[in-house]
Amino acid sequence: MKRRLALAFAVVLCAAIGGGVWLAREAFARAELVAPRATEIVYDREGVFLTQIAHGESAGYGYWPLEKIPERFVAATLALEDRRFYSHGGVDLLAIARAAWNNIARRGRREGASTIAMQVARMQNPGPRGLKRKIIEAATAVALIARHGREAVLAQYLRLAPYGAESHGVAHAARYYFDKPVEDLSWAETALLAAVPQAPGRMNLSREGGLSRASTRAARALDKLTRMGALDPAQAALAKARLAAMKRIAPPRRPETLHLALRYERLAREGRIVAASPYDPRIHASIDLGVEEEVALMARRYLNGFRGAGARQVAVMVAERGATLGGAARDTGGSNTVVAEVGSARFGGAGSGAFDFTRVTRSPGSTLKPFVYALAFERGALSATDILADVPEGASGVNNADGAFLGPMSPRQALANSRNVPAANLLRRVGIEANFHFLHELGLHDLEAPPESFGVSMAIGSLPTKLENLMRAYAALADDGVLGDLVYAREQRRSAPRRVMSVDTARLVTSFLSDPQARLPTFPRYGPLEYPFAVAVKTGTSQGYRDAWTLAYSTKFIVGVWLGRADAGTMKELGGAASSARLAHAILVKLHGAKPGDMDAENFPPPPERRAVDLCLGRDARENCFETIREWVKPGEAAPIAAPALSASSAGQEMEASAGPVLAIAAPEHNTHIWRNPDQPAALNRLALKLAQGTPGAQIVWYVDGEPFVVAEADQTVFWPLQPGAHRIQARLALRPGASRSVRVMVE
């Protein structure tokens, strides 16, 4: 019998020792102070709540760390949760005994005895309640105190405790509910928040019943603090009076800007927005929610007007140029601060509204043309007084959107009229690969496909891009050729701005895009492309009318608009100038506060070291100029109005001495680069030679490399069979003085 008892005792002892070892190992494995990354709260430029950013799959909200423990809040918390916190080692045996007696005696609502340390253990490792878990939490509480000390465990509780509405941690809750740091809370606010963690759901401060229950418990905390001598009776009476007068405290609600919320969440998770202090992770956004709401309403209203033509979605971005957010507290420290961003007509609405169409890749139509011209100016392949031919011959299969051809044009006219043929030929002249890499440098694409797969149609929309990319690239044009990031917050980490084109090129292209006279005849005067103040504007329409774009910038703002369909379906002949340009116009006029009849004399700065001259666009039979255009030219680049008409000379090409009438070659363009197709019949591998209008009835001799090739009428198009190598082509009058400038052609 004694042997059996001894054996049983040994078994029990071994089990106890084993259980103790297991419990100790389990407790110390859990005895770490762990909290998710702090939640950033994002406010707009006027301090209005925009959103907050949680981290981790189940992080919820909250978890602001504490730079120092707030004494007033600690006093209220310990009075309610753990009065003997500083006298026990993690488990309060007296509280357990009292709770057990009360639970037996009352036989009603159960009373708990969890200490601060036990609650930390539970919050860090949540799970189903039960005796086993209680024992583990108690052991973990002891291990936490032993390993980290009471102050660290208390700080962890104040960081993790739930305060309702998905707010965790007193520092976050103080900012979330009262928009102030925890140190600035009154005694009434302190006691109220300290009461909530016992039952955050039942003490929901945004409901009358929850506020009443929390206020009752807060009053008990004030009484306890008074008895303990931490609060004098007068302070307690004032705090109770304020408690009684409190109204429901609704936590801030995110506006209907979920695309914006997701934008800030992505920027934060990518490390591009980082709060200035981990103890106060507020983000000061550049967004103005008032402007955001107004732009969203305008976008929906204009979209509704175009639904009959098949439009289903809209996206808008507005950035402020060269301005700060006003005051040190709101200053982003740079230009191109985004003040409004509408990702779709309505988040989650019909037509795939969950997509943020500022970030969706689409065909940009003609919106890339300004950068084709910019690169040509940068490479010296184009001057402001050159002639570009808008003619069917040599157009590489490219047609203009209106099906018409306007003949010889200055670069200003060709870009302002958004002619496809000159842009495609210009891209080919400079090089497909060079343009592809330049557009990549501007951030318009990150494609790894071979440039040849896009060809010259890059100039008219074959290279896909996004509205946000276009906004950034157009900002470089507006900012004298310096490319920087779009700015969304004062705390944003920005890449260093870099120059992507010269000041001269950026300002010259801007002058093209802001010249309403140069847009004639394609875009009539006083339409949606013309403003009562200086605006550079470019529209784009993709093939099949699938996308309608407008990018417009003034001296103060940049606006980008996309209109289309989520399914990339076609619209009914709805181009950028007829649709998105109207919305962009309305937004810019509203932002500038312009009234009907207003005219602002402010203009864009001219290109440095250039002078304004009047160039002749056409002469009558008596050589009198009947049409001029103002151009910014470099010294020696062109003469003023007395010079030969642009329609009859190519001022940027090499002049050869001649007497008599001056001829101008419309096709091919100077410095044209052509690739022969070896699989094509020899009869089709040929180059069209054509003069600009101006010498009707005359006989012309075409010379190739100094040798006569063919005699033809001045208005006749002839074709020269392509031969590899570099060639010089010239037209001369037959039997009398008069010659064109030579054009250079490279054939491969």
Check whether 436 has a pLDDT greater than 80: yes
**Taking the domain 365-463, which CATH number applies?**
3.40.710.10
Answer whether residue 14 shows pLDDT above 50.
yes
Query: What DSSP string runs through 694-737?
Result: S-TT-EEEEEETTEEEEEEETT--EEEE--SEEEEEEEEETTSS
Same CATH fold assignment for domains 282-362+468-494+503-604 and 655-748: no
Domain extents for the chain?
1-26, 61-245, 282-362+468-494+503-604, 365-463, 609-652, 655-748
CB atoms within 10 A of CB 314: 28
Band of residue 647 on the pLDDT scale cut at 50, 70, 90: very low
At residue 597, what are phi and psi to the nearest 5 degrees? 90, -10
Higher pLDDT, 180 or 322: 180
Rg of the chain over all Cα atoms, to the nearest angstrom: 37
Amino acid at 84: R
**pLDDT at residue 508 above 90?**
yes
111 pLDDT higher than 90: no
Beta strands in 243-373 (DSSP E): 282-284, 313-320, 337-342
Query: Is 50 exceeded by the pLDDT of residue 328?
Result: no
Rounded CA-CA distance 637/480 in Å is 22
- Name the pLDDT band for 5 (thresholds 50, 70, 90): low
- Work out the number of other CB atoms within 10 angstroms of the CB of residue 298: 17
CA distances from 612 to 534, 632, 688 (A): 17, 5, 34
Q: Which element (helix H / strand E) includes 550?
A: strand 547-553
Pick the residue with more confidence: 71 or 98?
A: 71
Residue 652 has pLDDT above 60, yes or no: no
Separation CA 207–CA 640 (nearest Å): 77
Residue 138's pLDDT band (cuts 50, 70, 90): confident
Q: Please tell me what DSSP assigns to residue 452.
A: G
- Residue 12's pLDDT is 54
Alpha helices (H) along 397-519:
411-416, 420-430, 432-441, 467-478, 503-513
Give yes or no for residue 471 having a pLDDT over 70. yes
Structure tokens at 384: 């402001």
Residues 369-385: what's their mean pLDDT? Answer: 95
Query: Region 238-248: what's the mean pLDDT?
Result: 93
Residue-wise pLDDT for 478-490, tens only, equals: 999 999 999 999 9
CA-nearest of 411, 379, 478 to 631 is 411
Mean pLDDT of the residues in the chain: 85
The class that CATH gives domain 61-245 is mainly alpha
Q: What percent of the chain has a predicted confidence (pLDDT) above 70? A: 84
Contact 111, 102 (CB under 8 A): yes
Count Cβ atoms within 10 A of the Cβ of residue 288 and give its class: 0-12 exposed, 13-18 middle, 19 or more buried: buried
Token pair of 743 as six digits: 């054009």
State the CB neighbour count (10 A cutoff) for residue 430: 23
Q: How far apart are CA 191 and CA 218, in angstroms?
A: 5
Could you tell me if 715 and 693 are in contact, meaning their C-beta atoms sit under 8 angstroms apart?
A: yes
pTM: 0.79
650 pLDDT above the threshold of 60: no
CB 449 within 8 A of CB 345: no
Encoded tokens for 256:
């209907």
Question: Residue 104: what pLDDT?
Answer: 64
Name the strand (E) or helix (H) holding 690.
strand 686-691
Residue type, 344: S
Q: How many H helices and E strands in the chain? A: 19, 22
Residues 6 or more apart whose Cβ sits within 8 Å of residue 227: none
CATH of domain 655-748: 2.60.40.10
Residue 528, number of CB atoms within 10 A of its CB: 21
Flag whether pLDDT at 11 surpasses 70.
no
- Compute how many other C-beta atoms are within 10 angstroms of the C-beta atom of residue 696: 9
282-362+468-494+503-604 fold: Beta-lactamase (3.40.710)
Sorted by sequence, the CB contacts under 8 Å of residue 556 that are 6+ apart come out as 320, 321, 323, 591, 592
pLDDT-derived band of residue 536, with 50, 70 and 90 as boundaries?
A: very high
Both tokens of 500, joined, read: 């992507």
